[in-house]
Structure 1
């Protein structure tokens, strides 16, 4: 997959795809995409795998049942969370206390 417009020197972020979305990625559990924030990574994923954004962010906001995890830690900034050159991003079920 070519990521035109993103620059060839940019490292790729690994994104773990939830099982219910793997129909959009040809069954792949992990994909790579460029970006400096989770939102930029999501933009790149949408370009490569149309429909990803709408499933994760209906109406432009992160689905309320999901949380963003970057490098094993919940991302308090959500889609605005910065990612590093070798980061891993996951979209996991949000857990609330009670």
Structure 2
């Protein structure tokens, strides 16, 4: 796996996390397109922030060695980023429409 492929998989996991959370919690949904867009940006934001601690795709594949634990943590953070992005976007949406 390359760093770019790990990044794309992480973004896909963020999309899936946001859409599943929106599907099971109708209170937080923006529809499929909205959840997908928020999942992408939430995932990227949290991965970039958390990646500074050494969990970015290039540290996962450092020196040609694969670190599975860092990959699992990266994918979990990606899904969490999609969910938190959806919750944060809904909070902003609710505050602006009062």
TM class by smaller structure: under 0.3
- The answer to which structure has the higher helix fraction is 2
- The answer to which structure has the higher strand fraction is 1
TM-score (norm 2): 0.28
TM-score (norm 1): 0.28
More RCO (CA 8 Å, sep 6+): 2
